[in-house]
Structure 1
Amino acid sequence: MCAAIYGFDILMFGIMNAWLSDPCGHIKHFVCFDQSRGLVVVDEKKDWTSAQTYCRTHHTDLASVGSDAESGQIWAARPSGAAQMWIGLFSDDWSWTDGTGSSFRNWQSGQPDNGVGEGCAGLLTNDSGRWADFFCTSQYSFICAGAPRAKRLIVRVKIRSAQENMTSEITDHLLHQLVAPWAHAPDMKASWQRCANGEIFIREEDKTDDRPEERGTTE
């Protein structure tokens, strides 16, 4: 549901203004907030979502009203014949079944229209995948989601070093260098795989070089 400002006449007090909660798909005048100009009353009628898009495109956003004085100022500046005007207040009780708190919304203009009992959301294949609300008992195709499958990659590494003891500081530094190209990959983890004796590297004699050679694996 979305909020709109409207006016009414009280005997001895004159025209007053108040707010009401209405389905977001209804068509009304609206008021924007502009960072440089302040409140901007728009002499057009749109549903709440389209009004928000208009305000964000041409100004800053739909107006947030912080006081009775601002509410009165908006109503006093209403276009001729405007009975109600959208403001930036809304109530969104839509939630994802997996419990995630994503605030992303992709409703079709005029949706959700809060039809009686329309408590589930679906994608419209004829409108670039925008959303609409439907009866939860309606039968449609559906999309499932599963946990991403983890991939494990083992890499064998050979190094040449005159270092007698490979300290944890050295092996940590080597691992950091090895995975640097993929450091920003989501959920990527890397570690050394230890041998049966608990060591990371196995020393081998190089047939063509007197320098010791180390071998280890990382995953």
Structure 2
Amino acid sequence: MLFILFIFDLIIGDLFYIIERDFFYLTTFVFSTGFFTVTLCAPQYIFVNESKTWAEAQRYCRDKYTDLATIENEHQTLQLMDTVNDYSTDLAWIGLYDDLNIWKWTLEDSDFFKVEEKNFRNWYNQGPGNSGAQSLCVYINSGIWYAASCSTFEVADNITAVCFK
């Protein structure tokens, strides 16, 4: 009988959902049983209030945190917008770029994303083409994604960044 109760507790467990924690808007799921707890966390977004090129922003994020922000779904887009809007109305670099052949996230861990998450996009007006003529990097403005040349930025001189950890 004790074994059956253990299995029932293991399958059902208790589920707690914490929606946000002040600055980082950290989403946390906790599955708890009498014997162990498993916690899964969404990325924490950190606004960098310094003007940087895309390459400088990437180096900074990798040195201080994990990488430039990656976005898996609409919920994380809203989290990222909240982070940026709390500190600035500026444009901000994220970790998506065109390597002349295909759009990629800067995060090198290919196991980080599920298949459907690798293809999440939130482009303005169907997004840019992938002509292969030059490298393009992505910035956000009010949660919408735009692409610009990684080496010369035509929209503004001072672009901030969003990192994640």
Q: Normalising TM by the smaller chain, what interval?
A: 0.3 to 0.5
Bigger proportion of residues as helix? 2
Q: TM-score, normalised by structure 1?
A: 0.26
Q: Give TM-score scaled by structure 2 length.
A: 0.34
- Greater RCO between the two (CA within 8 Å, min separation 6)? 2
Greater radius of gyration (CA): 1
